[in-house]
Amino acid sequence: MAFPKNVTVFNHPLINHKIAILRNEATGMKEFRELVEEITTLMAFESLKDIPTTEVDVKTPLELCRQTVVQEKSVVVVPVLRAGLGMVNGIHTLLPTAKVGHIGLYRNEETLEPCEYYCKLPEGIEKKTVIVLDPMLATGGSAVAAINMLKARGCKKIKQMSIIAAPIGVETLAKAHPDVQIYVATVDRQLNENGYILPGLGDAGDRLFGTK
């Protein structure tokens, strides 16, 4: 499958190994939550490789040297409620002081159109690199809507991180927002008639929070 150049599909053996456990219907809530965090951290190494850095002096036991460090506060993460919340700790493991904005969207079960119900973003977000977090990219409607909301607030540098995507979701998002870097761990076969990803992992929000 060839996608536009703003799309990165990881297909990494170590990440795929964890996704195999994530998909398994027998995997319980605790393990599911831990895996979502771990996969997010692994994906962050690639997704954040262009994060702004600065140089500092460090005194080693042997001598003084210059060393690059990341500008942690240059990044804001924005989980899409609910399931995106499961990915936040995966980024905070690497960038503990990154601020968090929240966008609440749910899909209308009939039309699959995203409905906005919440938006609270840190002040000054328009000057930051914004990472939108949502483990599932299905029709792409929620991601397109979330990024529309961020652009309406003046955000210019936006990245999307998702774990499992459907081909149509990747195409729709890449077309709607060609300036946004899209990172997905894996791309599945298709959507079913209810907009669920096949083979997928079921409902990510329900599996993270035990609501079904």
Binding site for ligand PRP (CB under 6 A): 80-83, 105-107, 112, 114, 134, 136-143, 169, 195, 204-205
Q: Which stretch binds ligand URA (CB under 6 A): 25-33, 54-62, 179-187, 194-202?
A: 194-202
Point out the catalytic residue in the list 93, 111, 153, 211: 111
- Residue number with CB closer to ligand PRP (76 or 138): 138
C-alpha distances (whole Å) from 161 to each of 9, 111, 116, 119 are 10, 24, 19, 19
Binds ligand URA by CB under 6 A, chosen from 136, 145, 147, 170: 136
* Residue 206 known to be catalytic: yes
**Helix and strand element counts for the chain (H, E):** 6, 13
Contact between 77 and 54 (Cβ < 8 Å): no
**Contacted by 142, from ligand URA, ligand PRP, none: CB < 5 to 8 Å by type:** ligand PRP
Longest dimension (CA), the chain: 66
CA proximity to 107, closest of 22, 196, 25: 196
* Residue tagged 């506060």 (tokens): 73
The rounded distance, in Å, linking the Cα atoms of 9 and 137 is: 13
Tell me the H-state helices in 24-166. Answer: 29-47, 85-92, 141-152
User: Least distance in Å: CB of 185 to ligand PRP?
Assistant: 14
* Residue 107 known to be catalytic: yes
Per-residue binding string, ligand URA, 26-55, x by CB under 6 A, is: ------------------------------
CB nearest ligand PRP: which residue? 205
List residues bridging with 114 in a β-sheet: 107
200 binds ligand URA (CB under 6 A): yes
Residues at the contact surface with ligand URA, assessed by CB under 6 A: 83, 136, 138, 195-197, 200, 203-205
Looking at the annotation, which residues are catalytic? 107, 111, 203, 206
